[in-house]
Structure 1
Amino acid sequence: MGLRKKKRQQRHESAPVHPADADPTTSPWAVELRAVRRQYGRGSGAVHALRGIDLALPRGSFTAVMGPSGSGKSTFLQCAAGLDRPTDGSVRLGGTEITGMSENKLTALRRTRLGFVFQAFNLLPSLTVEQNVLLPMRLAGHRPDRRRAAEMLTRVGLGDKGGRRPGQLSGGQQQRVAIARALVTSPDVIFADEPTGALDTTTAGEILHLLRSAVDGMNATVVMVTHDPAAAAHADRTLFLADGAIVDHVEGASAARIADRMTALTRAAAPAYAGVAA
């Protein structure tokens, strides 16, 4: 395990936080943000949620995003995933510029090339587990691939639960279904928003191991917002946001080191967050 973690560090340590000027059609980056700003409101009441984010995340990587309350984590995730439009700057996903896309094209892209895992699971209670996993394919207008769904459910340890309803599963099992659903279309990026926030410590560790395995075994790209240093320690890199800007990042750090950095950041930046969006 130590050797594998060392290899992961070597693989991603050289990846710059700021993107190089490369041809987007051959870009090695899964996610690129260039000079991204997001402002809500105008004048003296304006809230600057993001202040010029420059970032490139390589394909097949696991990135955690942390920061004090009000630092811009949620806005970062929404802009990076095309759920919100930046005020200025550009966003590319898998080499595709999405900033000026129409809402219809953005919706189609999210359904086919992005996966999402949320704290609240967001499963449809009236559908079976298998039907929930197949939902992204149906929404994209593709023929549901039951073999692919079975493969993903087996990968997350629920190969025998396809016929059950979400309400018949534990919270941890429901989050496993959400991960299978996120993986079923082989997306360019999986965005995870506090995926372990509603789970106990043991179950959270199992979910994080699944996300880590998706990166190592399937070359998935995961971008995870979390408040938990133990969760962030599963990532290749942890980015720290403060007042809408990336102020630091660490590679392959332990939970203790990440916690220390967060504590220092929170103490130093606490007075700055009045009125800033989370």
Structure 2
Amino acid sequence: MRLRSTRRQKADDRPEAPAATTSGLAVELRGVQRQYGRGAGTVHALAGVDLALARGTFTAVMGPSGSGKSTFLQCAAGLDRPTSGLVALGGTEITGMSEDELTELRRNRVGFVFQAFNLLPSLTVEQNVLLPMRLAGRRQDRRRAAEVLAQVGLADKARRRPGELSGGQQQRVAVARALVTSPDVIFADEPTGALDTGTATDVLGLLRNAVDTLGATVVMVTHDPVAAAWADRALFLADGAFADHLERGSAERIAARMAMLTSRRGAMAGAAA
């Protein structure tokens, strides 16, 4: 993993032309900035981010409220366009893609797990899992659905509907849906935020197993140090830039690093006031 954050010193600086992407990487960001608004009201949600994540890794992204976590995930996953810079998934640059091309890429090569599960209540568990294939116009492979449902421990729930399942089981369905197309990367946005501790552990174990056994790549945004401790590394965002990282950190070390970052940010804000 290579990590570097840059901040441009002048508003009229122009980013250099991006070099070719690196095919061995699952996620690559170079000089990514995302701004909202103009003039004095401009918000620099991402202030120049460089990041390279290898395939088959589990990365947690943390940071105080307003640090840019959601914007990072949206830009990295092709859900939002950066103001400048390069984003590539699986060696394919997505920055200049049309909306139709981005939609096709997300359906075929990206998996998503959200805090709110985002399952369709009128569909069965099997139909929810197969939805990415259906939306992509691909043959709906029921054997593949059965395979991923078995991997998440729900082989006997294929005919059920989401409303008949517990919250933890619904999140397992969401993980199976994310795995069904064997995507280049799975983006998880607070995947355990709505779960109790025991169920959260089960879901995090599934994501960890997807990386270790299936060779998946997982990028997880979380506020929970316990969840982040399941990852290979934790990256810490502050004011739209990566400020720190921790390899294979325990929940205690991650929590301490977050507290230090939040305290430092608060002190800087107080000095500027």
Per the normalisation by structure 1, the TM-score is 0.90
* Equivalence for 2:64: 68
* Count of residue correspondences: 258
Partner of 1:264: 260
Give 3-state SS (helix, strand or coil) of 2:174's partner.
Answer: helix
Match of 1:28 among 24, 43, 48: 24
1:120 to 2:135 alignment:
no
Structure 2 contact 4–242 (Cα < 8 Å) conserved: no
* CA gap 1:43/1:272 in 2 versus in 1, 3 angstroms: farther
Return the letter of the residue paired with 1:105.
Answer: E
Residue pair 1:128, 1:165 contacting (<8 A) in 2 also: yes
Q: What does residue 96 of structure 1 align with?
A: 92
**Corresponding residue to 2:182 among 183, 186, 196:** 186
Deviation at 1:162, TM superposition (A): 0.1
Whether 1:210 aligns to 2:206 is yes
Q: Is the CA contact (8 Å cut-off) linking 1:70 and 1:273 kept in structure 2?
A: no
Between the aligned partners of 1:112 and 1:156, the Cα distance in structure 2 is 20
Shift of 1:272: 6.1
Q: 1:249 to 1:113 in 2, by over 3 A?
A: same
User: 2: distance between equivalents of 1:184 and 1:42?
Assistant: 41
- Which residue of structure 2 aligns with residue 3 of structure 1? none
Contact 2:23 2:92 in 1 (8 A): no
Distance in structure 2 (CA, Å) of the matches to 1:209 and 1:273? 38
Determine the C-alpha separation between the residues in 1 that align with 2:110 and 2:62: 21
In the alignment, residue 148 of structure 1 is paired with which amino acid?
R
CA distance in 2, matches of 1:219, 1:22: 27
* 1:170-249 equivalent positions in 2, closer than 5 A: 170-249=166-245
- What's 1:143 paired with? 139
Aligned AA for 1:264?
Answer: M
Asked if the contact 2:145–2:180 (Cα under 8 Å) also holds between the matched residues in 1, the reply is: yes
Q: CA deviation at 1:35?
A: 0.2
| Per-residue CA distance 1:27-62 (angstroms, 9 max, x = gap) | 211000000000000111000000000000000000
Structure-2-length-normalised TM-score? 0.92
Cα deviation, 1:217-276, whole Å, max 9, x if unaligned, reads: 0000000000000000000010000000000001001000000000011111036679xx
* Aligned-pair CA distance for 1:17: 1.8
Q: Distance in 2 between matches of 1:170 and 1:212?
A: 21
Q: How many angstroms apart in 1 are the aligned matches of 2:103 and 2:207?
A: 24
Q: Report 1:46-65 matches (<5 A).
A: 46-65=42-61
Q: Quick one: which of 78, 84, 96 aligns to 2:80?
A: 84
CA deviations 1:56-78 (Å, max 9, x no partner) are: 00000000000000000000000
Take 1:61 and 1:95, find their aligned partners in 2: how far apart are those partners?
15
Q: Which residue of 1 aligns with 2:2?
A: 16
Please say if residues 243 and 273 of structure 1, whose CA atoms lie closer than 8 Å, have aligned partners that are also in contact: no
What SS does structure 2 have at the residue aligned with 1:160?
Answer: helix
Structure 2 regions of 5+ residues with no counterpart?
A: 6-17
C-alpha deviations, 1:133-152, integer Å up to 9, x for none?
00000000001000000000
Instruction: Report the equivalent of 2:159.
Output: 163
CA distance in 1, matches of 2:129, 2:63: 31
